[in-house]
Amino acid sequence: MPANIIDGKALAKRLREEFSIRVKTLQASGITPGLAVILIGENPASQVYVGNKVKACAECGVRSFRHTLPADTPETEVIALIGRLNADRDVHGILVQLPLPPHIDLRRVLEAIDVHKDVDGFHLYNVGGLVVGDSIFPPCTPYGVQLLLETTGLPVEGKNAVIVGASNIVGKPMALMLLQKEATVTICHAKTKNLAQHTIIADILIVAAGSPGLIVPQMVKEGAIVIDIGINRMPDGSITGDVDFKGVSQKASWITPVPGGVGPMTVTMLIANTLRSAERVAGQQEVLGEWEK
Ligand code: NAD
């Protein structure tokens, strides 16, 4: 039987509608949530991502403050801008679009962000928080995946979760979140030998490698939940994931499509974190997702 589709686009739409209502509640107490987005250089993909984030903010009633800096901006200037945004009461979240130009030190820039405005969740404090199960802001892509997993109604606890990809922004935090939910977690990466030997035992298979068609049906356990985080632009301009969707959806019980799966959730969780930050400033009780309770 073909897999059920985990519809990220539909969930993102529902969440954004809820967020618009929460924004109105905040506005009634005199606070409009605000997100500052810093883009350095002219990377075309980054420009698209920033555009999507600004658009999503507008859709939910969140103010966005876009700071576009030339590629040769000195690191000190970037850090000075972050300092001003840290102090700005209209700004509840600060995001620095990655990748950065090579002359700018990623760690120094991320560490300059006030942890209470670090809505991407990349500051070392937030990363450390994930290790002990108590981050201020969960990083957006794995956070979105958590909510997508919830829609299946299946528990994560005790399941074999295998993550393909071990980056700091996706694979590793994803692994920590699932560990926190008491899954048995395996992390695979480009140096993993015999990848299939690991993926075949996965009840939950999460793929974030950036390698189109990496996961084929023979690598997937019958009835597995498969989450495809990969976004790969093909020579014909189309977007595809890391999973052979057509083949794997004949074996999986649940699967995310690309596009329309994890992608819309990543931007949505950025709004969620910005809203959460503004609600904390307003002293409102936090609205928590199911998995955070
Ligand atoms: P990255 O390049 O930083 O990390 C890739 C990871 O995958 C590394 O750990 C690498 O060792 C591993 N890997 C690469 N090839 C592999 C292979 N053949 N077998 C096993 N492991 C392999 O990338 P990233 O930033 O983590 O992004 C990964 C993918 O997810 C990309 O396609 C990216 O575009 C996508 N992405 C999507 C979203 C979203 O919102 N859907 C968000 C972030 C990243």
Tell me how far apart the alpha carbons of residues 93 and 121 are, in angstroms, rounded to a whole number. 10
Q: What is the mean pLDDT of residues 138-142?
A: 97
pLDDT in tens, 236-257: 999 999 999 999 999 999 999 9
Ligand 1 pocket test, pick from 6, 174, 227, 231 with the greatest ligand atom count within 8 Å of Cβ, gives 231
Is residue 254 one of the residues assigned to a domain? yes
pLDDT in tens, 11-45: 999 999 999 999 999 999 999 999 999 999 999 99
Instruction: Give residues with Cβ within 8 angstroms of 206, minimum separation 6.
Output: 145, 161, 162, 163, 164, 165, 174, 178, 226, 227, 229
**DSSP, residue by residue, 88-132:** -TT--EEEEPSSPPTTS-HHHHHHHS-GGG-TT--SHHHHHHHHT
In the reported structure, the alpha carbon of residue 148 is separated from the centroid of ligand 1 by a whole-number distance in angstroms of 19
* CB distance 265 to ligand 1 below 6 Å: no
Q: What is the CATH number of the domain that holds 159?
A: 3.40.50.720
Q: What is the mean pLDDT of residues 56-81?
A: 98
Q: What is the mean pLDDT of residues 78-82?
A: 98
At residue 66, the pLDDT reads 98
Task: Look at the chain and report how many structural domains it folds into.
Answer: 1
**Global pTM?**
0.95
Q: Which domain holds residue 161?
A: 140-262
At residue 142, the pLDDT reads 97
At residue 128, the pLDDT reads 95
Is residue 110 one of the residues assigned to a domain? no
Residue 224 CA: distances (Å) to CA of 134, 152, 163, 228, 259: 28, 11, 13, 12, 20
Annotation says 228 is catalytic: no
Instruction: Give residues with Cβ within 8 angstroms of 97, minimum separation 6.
Output: 37, 38, 39, 40, 46, 49, 50
Q: Are 170 and 25 within 8 A, CB to CB?
A: no
Is residue 131 one of the residues assigned to a domain? no
Is residue 221 one of the residues assigned to a domain? yes
Sign of the C-alpha dihedral computed for residues 163, 166, 172 and 174 taken in this order: negative
* CB distance 54 to ligand 1 below 6 Å: no
pLDDT in tens, 178-234: 999 999 999 999 999 999 999 999 999 999 999 999 999 999 999 999 999 999 999
Annotation says 27 is catalytic: no
State the chain's mean pLDDT as an integer. Answer: 95
Tell me how far apart the alpha carbons of residues 183 and 190 are, in angstroms, rounded to a whole number. 22
Is residue 230 one of the residues assigned to a domain? yes
Q: Are 10 and 266 within 8 A, CB to CB?
A: no
At residue 286, the pLDDT reads 63
- At 290, is the pLDDT very low, low, confident or very high (cuts 50, 70, 90)? very low
- At 76, is the pLDDT very low, low, confident or very high (cuts 50, 70, 90)? very high
Is residue 219 one of the residues assigned to a domain? yes
Catalytic: which of 118, 120, 203, 228?
A: 120
- pLDDT of 134 > 90? The answer is no
Tell me how far apart the alpha carbons of residues 196 and 194 are, in angstroms, rounded to a whole number. 5
Share of the chain above pLDDT 70, in %: 97
Tell me how far apart the alpha carbons of residues 20 and 15 are, in angstroms, rounded to a whole number. 9
Is residue 144 one of the residues assigned to a domain? yes
* CB distance 154 to ligand 1 below 6 Å: no
Nearest atom in ligand 1 to the alpha carbon of residue 267 is 40
Is residue 150 one of the residues assigned to a domain? yes
- pLDDT of 160 > 50? The answer is yes
Q: Is the bond leading into 257 cis (omega within 30 degrees of zero)?
A: no
